[in-house]
Chains A and B, each alone.
Chain A
Amino acid sequence: DIQMTQSPSTLSASVGDRVTITCRASQSISSSLAWYQQKPGKAPKLLVYKASTLESGVPSRFSGSGSGTEFTLTISSLQPDDFATYYCQQYNSFTWTFGQGTKVEIK
């Protein structure tokens, strides 16, 4: 299976900060990557797919980039509602796999 590695595992930031989360694939996945946000006790929510396509209704402060094996999710100006855990997901292979998650905490 393709392994997805996110960094950092935990990120402490303040409201208004620019935040970047990285996701690396163990082999090339082209642009077959999605990002999800999960808050405690809730189901994940789709943010970005095809590496850089913003899901309808998702604020424009979120953006995704990358291709091949390295991808990033950027929040341009962190808002109180953005403190959550973020997961990447590859869907290039027969078995889809997720990163281990990045928790964005209040500094």
Chain B
Amino acid sequence: QVQLVQSGAEVKQPGSSVKVSCKTSGGTFSSYTISWVRQAPGQGLEWMGGIIPMVDTANPAQKFRARVTLTADKSTNTAYLELRSLRSEDAGIYYCTREKISAAAVLDLWGQGTLIIVSP
């Protein structure tokens, strides 16, 4: 059974960077697009962008383009999200997701989430 397994919670200072990993286990990695969605505490969902590991093409959302880097390592079936210049409003849960291969942009598999705390 395919799973997305994310790295553990992080506590970061304002102005620093965080890198979250998402490992695909039990299935093909590079055929899918991996997207990232975040959720501030008690709030809704926000799409941050995606990457197609097969062609190493990343598409960060306009809002995050200056601060986000999306990468993928096909040798380890792992995708990464790096967010720079962290601010308090970046705190929340970050999810990696897989797009449905038969329906692009539909998120049919989610990681367990990674909690990011931003605190001085």
Q: Tell me the A residues contacting B by CB distance below 8 Å.
A: 32, 34, 36, 43-46, 49-50, 53, 55, 87, 89, 91, 94-101
Q: Which residues of A contact B120 (CB under 8 A)?
A: none
Count contacts on B: residues with CB < 8 A to the other chain.
20
**Chain B residues at the A interface, C-beta cutoff of 8 Å:** 37, 44-47, 61-63, 95, 100, 103-108, 110-113
Interface pair B105/A32, CB less than 8 Å apart: yes
Give the residue of B47, B61, B63, B100 whose beta carbon is less than 8 angstroms from that of A49: B100
Tell me which of A32, A97, A99 contacts B47 (CB under 8 A): A97
Contacts of A49 in B (CB 8 A): 100, 103, 106
* Distance between Cα atoms of A89 and B106 in the complex (Å): 9
Nearest residue in A to B107 (C-beta to C-beta)?
A46
